[in-house]
Amino acid sequence: MIYIFINRLSNNGKAVDAQGELEKIFEGHKLKFIDITSITNAADSCRMLSPDDKIVIAGGDGTLSRFVNDVYDLQLTNEVYFYTCGSGNDFLNDVCESCQIKDNLIPMNDFMKNLPLVTVNGKSSRFINGIGYGIDGYCCEEGDRIREK
């Protein structure tokens, strides 16, 4: 079985098309789509997987980061892939030359090991493709305010 953790809200809601694309890529396989925005923690779903099950994370950089933080302590042995359907896809841009990408699927198992742990304001998180402290978000908010004027 292939478990697909999908964020249909990625890319300003355009990632909703990813489900159909993934159904075509995995035609003939048994698929289970899990809306990652409707669950509290992806680890709860992953604990029940059999060793032969595969995992696909479908979304953007934020979806990938959330999934990795949810499941990091499980040390998954299942094959894990990332299907990029976000707006920026920084992770894809960072790794595209260093791995074999087929059908827009990035093999993730090696990337999900030995990630740095950063604690800010008492909250610890693992980072797979970048560490931000809100400055970029603040700049976007200011840019939006300026555009409105």
- Render pLDDT for 22-59 as a digit per residue (tens, 0 to 9): 999 999 999 999 998 888 899 999 999 999 999 999 99
Query: Which structure tokens are listed for 97?
Result: 């030359």
Q: Of 5-9, 20-24, 35-39, 85-89, which range is least confident? A: 85-89
* Mean pLDDT of the residues in the chain: 87
Q: Output the pTM of the full model.
A: 0.82
- CA pair distance 76, 29, nearest whole angstrom: 21
- pLDDT value at residue 83: 92
Locate 9 and state its tokens.
């809200």
Maximum mean pLDDT: which of 2-6, 73-77, 85-89, 100-104: 2-6
